[in-house]
Chain A
Amino acid sequence: MIHRILGTLASAASQPSDERQPTPAVRLDGVTHEYGATGGRLRAGEQRTVTALRDVSIDVQPGETIGLEGPSGSGKSTILHAVAGLLVPTSGSVELIGTDLTPLSTRKRTHVRRQHVGIVFQHFHLLPSLSARANVALPLVQTGVPKRARRKRATELLTQVGLGDRTTHLPSELSGGERQRVAIARALATDPTVVIADEPTGELDTATGNAVLDLLTDVGRERAVLLASHDESTLAVADRVITLRDGQVVADGH
């Protein structure tokens, strides 16, 4: 079944662009998502929810970098999580290269995420007990890539992000910028179609943040990149910036 889905994804990606409208790498169509609220006093039978997204529709083309801006709670991270298949929206559809993720089971969404989505977190989220190389090779373990091939691929990616000489270092032995570059290398390990980055420069100083942004810009030449940030200088690298307020798209432009 998974192969069938992947086959669909692959065939969709290989559709000739001159025959029809190119399939977007990511398409959100009328996505609404509500979280169950916790805390406070609820009456019997009363259910309180918080609406994180209201009827959001976004298309992202391959090779396009999209910036998501807005205050905290505006729904930026929820969009990223929906694209990554980490959550299923309450209504609407989330398509990845033409395939709707919303009806898929958790296992199948995990499989699609492993093959087609790379994630960069604000707090890096590297495993502290593994070396930089082992962290980068982590997604390849589940895909069944042999050890030697994993090491080779991880070393190549670390070299690509300028950390070829830090492969055996633990995250605690790396600076913040280096950790984020390791996280970006990990996101690229499976050569994903889409890279999502949630506040990638949030924990970095300006110079280091700029270096990381340059890296993401390089990454975005071949892939669709969704970048969520409060920071205008971070959003400046995006081809298009979508502004969110209270879970709604209020602006979408260059």
Chain B
Amino acid sequence: MDTDDEQPPYADSERQSQREDERSTDEFSGRRTNRTRWVGLGRLAVTRLWKRTTKTTSRRVVATISAVALTIALLVVVTGVALALADGGTTTENDADVQVMPESTDLLSSINGVEGARLGEANERAASIREAEGVDHATPVLTEPMRLERAGEGGTTVSESNETEANATDNRTVTDPQTVLLVGVTPDGESRTVAGLPTSELASDADTTADTANATDTNATAAQGPGQRELVLSTTAAERLGVTAGDELAVSSSQFEITDTPPPTVTVTAVVETSGDDETPVALGHLRALQTLSGSSEGELADRVLVWGESDAAADRAAAAYPDATVETPDRTDPSLLFDDGLAFVTSVLALVVVVAICAAFVATTAGMTVNEDRRMLAVLESVGFPTHSRLAIVAISTQALTLCGALLGGVLGFVGIHVLNAVASGTIAPGAVAETHPLFLPYALVIACVAGLIAIPYPLVIAARTSVLAEVSR
């Protein structure tokens, strides 16, 4: 404001220096005054908003916050679903050092029927990776949703088929076959984690080579040697199926009814709590058995290959085995996965655009109405000496503060929404979680709300700038 003041010339250097000292002090004081003024304006805007909400008329404030919260919650939920689509859900929970995935990585999600590219000749190439120096172990991983039931019951309750056993197992009830995500691996007897479950609970494939050597035809029963007939269940899967370690399970499929062959059976070797999402029923079994059951044995298909060992050696060997695939260090919490998956990326971008548009439109409308009601307040501010930019700043800060409040609430609602969605989905359309949460969702929600607020702000500012102080104070 005082920059256009002309400085008088000074003859001697002492006076010149003194003048410069004074000027720098003035500039500092001016900056401090400016800062105090802006802090005061911000405080005035927020205080007014708070008191208005708590002590006078809160309806419009509550409506604005609710609308923003709902749209932001929608954004968080849809982004969570997109992340789960990109990430493959619980089945990616592992402790491998390197993983190989198809280039077009639409991995199998926990939603039935959503399937992407797979790796071919996985068993053979994994075996070649295992032979490399510095590699401890490599296993293809195949994930398939399967319907399982207690062996020999055919949808009847435990109490009907085996009353004694039912009484002994705390009234566990099995009514229908349950869908479980079956994850097939090649265990080596070491303690490793795949899909959140320990592979060490399965017999090493080295012990079952003789059994699997003949497992090349499509006859499911013939495919399973004694060593292949075992499963490790997550606690969720065990609860749904109503089984414990040692129980027998049968694969429920119409193909066995049509061909009139007995369904293959497996033994539950252990029930373990998963290290990740506990809402998805997961079972860990032998790869070859699952490939045979799912019809993937011919091409030795797998969703990914996991490699343990020295990262560099493992990555080099994996890249050599699959030159066209993506070789990376597994990180299930990496939201950049969204950029690698077409469907997930488009879903999240669409959600972003829709939410920003709805949010900005609603905030602009309600803020415009609020400013229209507040014209007298703006006139009073002008009459007591608030220039236009200060009045507009108060309107902008109020609008942005409201939007941020809504975003915070929306972020929390979004996290709650993801859990509710997972609970509903696991009870209806999917065997487990269909959406994932991530700590970055909250700052993401705040930034998006800020953007929506900034888009919305010009409208209330135009209304505020048009306010006539004389018209308002004379009313």
Contacts and interface: CB of A to CB of B under 8 A. Distances in A.
Interface of A: 1-4, 77, 81, 84, 86-87, 106-107, 110-111, 113-115, 119, 121, 125-131, 134, 138-139, 141-147, 150, 170, 172, 186, 190
27 contacts: A2-B2, A3-B2, A77-B474, A84-B383, A86-B382, A86-B383, A86-B470, A106-B387, A110-B386, A114-B386, A127-B380, A129-B48, A130-B51, A131-B51, A141-B37, A141-B40, A141-B44, A144-B33, A144-B34, A147-B39, A147-B40, A147-B43, A150-B40, A170-B56, A172-B56, A186-B384, A190-B385
Contacts of A125: 376, 379-380, 383, 473
B455 interface: no
B387 A129 contact: no
Contacts of B1: 1-3
A239 B382 CA distance: 30
Given A2-B2, A4-B5, A129-B51, A144 B37 contact: yes
Contacts of B41: 141-142
A172 B55 CA distance: 10
A127 B48 contact: yes
B145 to A, nearest CB: 57
Interface in B379-397: 379-388, 390
Nearest to B49: A129
A170 B386 CA distance: 22
A77 B380 CA distance: 16
B385 A139 contact: yes
The 3 closest A-B pairs by CB, nearest first: A114-B385, A144-B33, A141-B40
B438 interface: no
Contacts of A142: 37, 40-41, 384-387, 390
Contacts of B51: 129-131, 170
Contacts, number: 99
A79 to B, nearest CB: 13
A142 B33 CA distance: 9
B4 interface: yes
Nearest to A2: B1
A242 B100 CA distance: 93
B36 A146 contact: yes
B384 A130 contact: no
B36 A86 contact: no
Contacts of A143: 33, 37, 385
Nearest to B386: A142
B473 A130 contact: no
B132 interface: no
Given A3-B5, A113-B385, A138-B384, A170 B47 contact: no
Contacts of B44: 134, 138, 141
B375 to A, nearest CB: 12
Contacts of A130: 47-48, 51
A174 B345 CA distance: 58
A180 B364 CA distance: 35
A131 B34 CA distance: 24
